[in-house]
């Protein structure tokens, strides 16, 4: 993959991912609150429907950009070695590797976003600090393994 393709994948992937995530954010908040143990209305109902948006906005662009760069780079790497009948396997491997790498960015932002959505009285920064103080850096990666299994395979 040359520099121009790399830049195109980085920018296009990041912009596309950010547009999708920000457009669907209210639905994601409703889903998170419906799944909360406290219940939909106790976690804010329809109020504060954009709680957690800063975390999603900060993580969305780099998450999608890293996915697409990894995906395209992996496809380029395997393109010289695989026959046309192996193209689906090449795409599958590239997508899986892209998801595994992207989850390094996605999971911490998802943890903060979901906790903010379920506790709209706290802002994103306060949720991040609380998570780091109470659980340490590992708390930001809670669910990384299951997310990788869901997204990458």
CA distance 67 to 72: 9
Give the 3-state secondary structure of residue 5.
Answer: helix
* Locus of tokens 């957690």: 52
The whole-number pLDDT of residue 100 equals: 96
pLDDT at 83: 66
Q: What is the pLDDT of residues 114-139, one digit of tens each?
A: 999 998 788 999 999 999 999 999 99
What integer is the mean pLDDT of 82-89?
A: 74
Would the pLDDT of 20 be above 70? yes
**Structural domains of the chain, ranges and CATH numbers in brackets:** 3-152 (1.50.40.10)
Check whether 79 has a pLDDT greater than 90.
Answer: no
Q: How far is CA 50 from CA 56, 75, 123, in A?
A: 10, 36, 11
Cβ neighbours, 10 Å, residue 100: 18
Q: What is the pLDDT of residues 51-67, one digit of tens each?
A: 889 989 899 999 999 99
pTM: 0.85
């Amino acid at each position: 993959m040359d520099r121009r393709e790399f830049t195109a994948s980085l920018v296009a992937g990041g912009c596309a991912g950010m547009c999708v995530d920000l457009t669907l954010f209210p639905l994601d908040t409703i889903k998170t609150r419906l799944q909360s143990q406290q219940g939909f209305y106790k976690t804010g109902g329809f109020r504060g429907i954009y709680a957690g948006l800063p975390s999603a906005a900060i993580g969305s662009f780099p998450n999608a950009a890293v996915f697409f760069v990894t995906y395209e780079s992996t496809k380029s790497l395997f393109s010289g070695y695989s026959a046309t009948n192996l193209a689906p396997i090449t795409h599958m491997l590239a997508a899986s590797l892209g998801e595994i790498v992207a989850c390094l960015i996605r999971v911490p932002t998802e943890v903060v976003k979901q906790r903010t959505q379920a506790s709209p009285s706290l802002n994103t920064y306060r949720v991040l600090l609380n998570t780091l103080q109470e659980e340490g850096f590992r708390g930001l990666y809670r669910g990384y393994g299951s997310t990788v299994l869901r997204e990458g395979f």
